Every structure is written in C-alpha cells, then in structure tokens.
Amino acid sequence: MNWFYCALLGLAALSPALWFLASISLRKTAPLILNDSAPKAINFYTAQLEEIKIQLQNDEITPEQYKNAQLEIQRRLLQQAHTQPPLKSQKGSLLGCFIIAGLIPIASLMLYAVNGTPSLPAFPLSEQIKKQESENHKAEQLIAVLKEKLNAIPAGSEKAFPVLVLLGQAELKTGHLKEAATTLTNALSLHFDPLLAAITAETITQENGHVTPYAVELFKKALKAAPDNAPWKEQAQRRINQIGQ
C-alpha cells in the first residue's frame, strides 16, 4: 500500500471526529469553569454581607451606601464564581478543525517513515479516566456541602444568593443541567445580574436542546443590562436569533 492510500485512510478514519468537532463549534458556547475555592468564597462574601449589615444597623453607613456595597459584593462573587473564556468565531473554529484533521495523518506518516514501527508508549487512558472520576467525585461532594449550607438559610434570604450561584456552577460542571437551571433561576430571583442571566439562559437552552421563550427573555434582559464590552453578547444575540429558525 503506498503513502497516498495511507493518507486517504487516515482522513477517512478521522472524518467522524471532524464532523463531531465541527458540530460542536457551531452549537456550543465556551464552557464555564467553576472556581475550586468555592467554600472559601462563600464564607468570605457572606462575612462581608454580614459586616455591612451590622454597619447599617449601627448607623455607620446610609441605606443607599448599604445597597451599593451589597451590589458590589454580589458582583465580586459572580466574578469569583465564573471564568468565561473568550468566544471565538465559528469560521475560525471550523478552520482549526480542518487544519488539525489534515495535519494528524501527515504527522503520523512522518513518524512511521522515521521509525518504521510504532514504539511510543500507550496513552495512559486509565489514568485520565481516574482523574476525571476524582474531579467528578469532588464536585459531587461540593454540591452536597452547598446544599447543606442552603438548607440552613431561611427561604428568600439574600444570604442564599452566593450559595445558589456556586451550587449552580457545580451542577453545571457535573452535567446536571436541569438542576443547574433551577438553581440559577432561583439565584436570579434574589438578585439580577446580566452575566448570571446569560448563563442561566444558556443552561436552559442546553437542557432543552433548543432556545425556549423564557431563555430568550433572559438573553434580552442580559443584553439590555450588560456592559458594551461583555464578551458573551454576540453569543447571546445568536441564541435570540435562533428562536425563529
């Protein structure tokens, strides 16, 4: 078998993976990453909320100053809980998929030409699986801790907001989309934030497999309140445009 047919076989073998990567680049947004310091973040921001509440009770600050300080603490919590990678254009993602698909068989042929037979050690897949299982186990433990904290907070209390945000992110990380959508919606009912609204809308969209009217409503509210340089605005607008398709 000559090298030309080897290259064709390599591309044919990679075609399912190429199709999968292309579909992912068209449908998915950049994943949200949960900050591993979630328990510390809860304690820190809860303590700050308690401190300004005491200052208000002691007439050390005015009600307006208390409200502004409360909003600032909640904003910092959202920044602590979320890391939003920059969104890339679909064309760039697709081009990258085709380039990678073309380079892999070429690199394989070059390696074979140099050495003749494969001599590299097998990829430690079992170790990767164990690592992923360990991360999932830690995330599930975090969910249990956050739910326990949430149960100790009176219903409707503003103290529940930071716990709900972090719980929703933990549920997202473990793939519990339905639970995450409910949790983040509950957080929005306590305090509206454009980034949180966009995340909630995207979670609802992913869970249902399509853009729902409620998700569109959240996306529109998020865009209206978002700063001009918010990196997720383009993706939110694309989701809104999908409702009529």
Domain around 7: 1-30+88-120
Could you identify the residue written with the tokens 């999968």?
20
Instruction: Give the residues of the chain that fall short of pLDDT 70.
Output: 1-45, 74-75, 77-126, 244-245
Query: Does any domain span residue 36?
Result: no
Note the pLDDT of residue 188.
Answer: 94
Query: Does any domain span residue 17?
Result: yes
Residue type, 103: L
Q: In the chain, how many domains are there?
A: 1
DSSP H or E stretch at residue 127: helix 125-151
- Find out whether 106 and 7 touch, Cβ atoms under 8 Å: yes
Query: Does any domain span residue 97?
Result: yes
Question: How do residues 142-166 score in pLDDT, each as one tens digit?
Answer: 889 989 999 999 988 888 999 999 9
Query: Does any domain span residue 92?
Result: yes
- Find out whether 207 and 177 touch, Cβ atoms under 8 Å: yes
Question: How do residues 55-66 score in pLDDT, each as one tens digit?
Answer: 888 888 888 888
Query: Does any domain span residue 236?
Result: no
Query: Does any domain span residue 25?
Result: yes
Query: Does any domain span residue 43?
Result: no
Note the pLDDT of residue 32.
Answer: 42
Closest CA to 176 of 207, 145, 147: 207
Q: Which long-range contacts (CB under 8 A, 24 or more apart) does 145-152 make?
A: 145/39, 146/38, 146/42, 146/170, 149/42
Could you identify the residue written with the tokens 């009912």?
189
Query: Does any domain span residue 18?
Result: yes
